Amino acid sequence: MTKLILTLMVLLFSQYSFSALAPKYQNMKNFDVMIKFIKQHEKVMSTLKTVDFENYSIYFGADCKVTFERKDIPKPSGWAGPADPLVFKASSCRLN
């Protein structure tokens, strides 16, 4: 009887389980945001030096740096879904 109840509970509540986005796909999403930014800014594209994927930074021009951060999106308690999207944070130089 206990096994039956446990089985029914697992089946009933399994629809509410979420998982985080696999690292491969999260990295692709992050990289797409950074590449889109580069393509949208001619100065960055024409003087691009380095894309620092680990620190979400782009280096261009003469010691210029663009940084990104995670957009803070409120989530329910216990959420284990994908990371918040990357958004532009700041640039140490003018972008145009």
pTM over 0.85: no
* CA nearest to 61, candidates 24, 96, 20: 96
Residue 3 clears pLDDT 90, i.e. is over it = no
Element holding 37 (H helix, E strand): helix 23-40
CB atoms within 10 A of CB 81: 12
23-62 per-position pLDDT tens digit: 888 889 999 999 999 999 999 999 999 999 999 999 999 9
Q: What pLDDT does 83 receive? A: 81
Residue 55: half-sphere exposure toward Cβ, Cα within 13 Å? 9
Q: What pLDDT does 15 receive? A: 52
Cross-strand partners of 68: 88
Residue 17: half-sphere exposure toward Cβ, Cα within 13 Å? 7
Q: What pLDDT does 16 receive? A: 47
Percent of the chain surpassing pLDDT 90: 54
Give me the mean pLDDT over the 8-32 stretch.
70
Quick check: 67 and 56 in contact, CB under 8 A? yes
